A = this chain, B = another copy of it.
Amino acid sequence: MVSDSVNNYIDEHQNYFVQRLAETVAIPSVSSSAAHRPDVVRMGFWLEKELKGLGASVELRYPGKQQLEGREIDLPPIVLATYGTDPNKKTVLVYGHYDVQPALKEDGWATDPFTLVEDDKGRMFGRGSTDDKGPVISWLWVIQIHQKLGLDLPVNLKMCFEGMEESGSEGLDELIYKEAALYFKDVDCVCISDNYWLGTTKPCITYGLRGVSYFMLTVSGPGKDLHSGVFGGTVHEPMTDLVHLMQKLVTPDGKILVPGIMDDVAPVTSEEDAIYKALDFSMNDIYNAIDAKNTIHDTEKNVLMSRWRFPSLSLHGIEGAFYSPGAKTVIPAKVIGKFSIRSVPNQEPAKLTKQVVDYIMSEFAKLGSKNTVHVECEHAGKSWVADINSWNYVAATKAVQKVFNVTPDYTREGGSIPVTLSFQEALKKSVLLLPMGRSDDGAHSINEKLDRSNYIQGIKLLSAYLYEVSTVQS
């Protein structure tokens, strides 16, 4: 069988793949730092050279400039690559990013963050190991392995690797929409390689994301900050109005109080309910993640549904009020409450904003205050959910079953991964997230790691996925 020879090759050459990963980890492609911008570009060039070496056609797209640390600098290139153009094959678009989060040894890393170090448990520590260099370069190895074994890839591959994911993906959305009918026109499905297993033992496929609507609620009163000794008791204080409004938004157990806001939330289907029974997740996972036991719910299913498929409202803070340690007797003149709603299908941002604004204006009127209020949605991203019975998901499921002998968890994310929605909306093709790393990899933390087994089995998974895509009924 093809898969046996591919998998054997991967097993036999795993030290080579680890060594190549070490090569990329050694390039400190930190996108948030102007000083590291040349390293980010160098990492883009590394991919270009490797891909060209494999015979892919490669284009570096420069999205423009950005302001960073007080100066204007070039954004790093988006690496677009095509490998195979056979009209009889399906075309799979894969996405990943080659930039990384900042990392300094003195942040608390046990080893140098830009030197890949493997311990005796097969944990390979290094910035970018799991987020997202391991997954990105694995696509290159899949091509290389097939060439070494004299095999054709069963699909055409298009690749889109960006260098700004950790810094807002500047320029990517424009490119996706612009190239939807051009560079990406033959794409049949999209696989995003930038996510993690729910737990540590079982692969997953991610099929949904919550959206987010971020609100600014401003209450203005006096023309300037006042001293509470002189003016306490005489003026309508904006902070008082603001906390009265903020507490009207959500209860201590997380119930959103905005009228009508739950009306459009898609009901839980029995199929969906069944997914939750199989998940590799326990209450201890969340207790460990939050370093406390103050969960609203006490069962795994309710915790995950609250995270993934029900909306939530969080109060983030207040701008304009006193925030330092110590005591200050100020009456702030203007305060801005910040809160956001994580939205879910089928909530629409525009309707949600109207519900929130109408409610706040109506609650403010009840306060009888002479202050003024203004509320607006500062930005909104839609939620996303895919049909796990569609052929792209069936293919990924079969690939997981073949490589891992287990049916994957079907997971969603509570946060947004905007590129997912961009591909979905621009290309109108099935998008899925097929993670390589584990929940405990510490993607943005010190001592980020990728397990050797996740890396090696992950390469097999990507290869297997392409075969399943090529044969699945679509």
Given contacts A235-B294, A306-B233, A342-B233, contact A314 B369 (CB under 8 A): no
Evaluate contact between A222 and B294: CB separation under 8 angstroms: yes
| A340-354, CB < 8 A from B | 340, 342
Residues of B near A314 (CB, < 8 A) are 228, 232, 237, 239-240, 329, 331
Q: How far is the CA of A310 from the CA of B244 in the complex (A)?
A: 22
Evaluate contact between A292 and B413: CB separation under 8 angstroms: no
Given contacts A319-B325, A321-B317, contact A228 B303 (CB under 8 A): no
Evaluate contact between A307 and B230: CB separation under 8 angstroms: yes
Say which one of A23-31, A105-113, A248-256, A402-410 lies at the interface with B.
A248-256
Evaluate contact between B296 and A236: CB separation under 8 angstroms: yes
- Nearest-neighbour CB distance to chain B for A262, whole angstroms, equals 12
Could you pull out 12 A-B pairs where Cβ atoms are within 8 angstroms? A223-B292, A228-B316, A231-B289, A231-B414, A232-B307, A232-B312, A235-B290, A235-B296, A239-B314, A243-B315, A296-B370, A317-B321
Interface residues of A (CB under 8 A from B): 210, 212, 214, 216, 221-224, 226-237, 239-241, 243-244, 246-247, 250-254, 286, 289-297, 303, 306-307, 310-319, 321-325, 327-332, 338, 340, 342, 367-371, 378-379, 413-416
Q: How far is the CA of A325 from the CA of B336 in the complex (A)?
A: 9
- Nearest-neighbour CB distance to chain B for A126, whole angstroms, equals 23
Q: How far is the CA of A146 from the CA of B254 in the complex (A)?
A: 75
Evaluate contact between A233 and B312: CB separation under 8 angstroms: yes
Contact of A252 among B214, B318, B368, B379 (CB under 8 A): B368
- Nearest-neighbour CB distance to chain B for A374, whole angstroms, equals 15
Residues of B near A328 (CB, < 8 A) are 316-317, 338
Evaluate contact between B327 and A294: CB separation under 8 angstroms: no
Contact of A315 among B227, B240, B325 (CB under 8 A): B240
Evaluate contact between A319 and B324: CB separation under 8 angstroms: yes
Evaluate contact between A307 and B247: CB separation under 8 angstroms: no
Q: How far is the CA of A236 from the CA of B297 in the complex (A)?
A: 9
Evaluate contact between A415 and B227: CB separation under 8 angstroms: yes
Given contacts A252-B240, A307-B234, contact A291 B327 (CB under 8 A): no
Evaluate contact between B318 and A317: CB separation under 8 angstroms: yes
Q: How far is the CA of A253 from the CA of B221 in the complex (A)?
A: 13
Residues of B near A289 (CB, < 8 A) are 230-231
Evaluate contact between A323 and B327: CB separation under 8 angstroms: no
Evaluate contact between A342 and B232: CB separation under 8 angstroms: yes
Q: How far is the CA of A222 from the CA of B321 in the complex (A)?
A: 24
Evaluate contact between B240 and A250: CB separation under 8 angstroms: yes
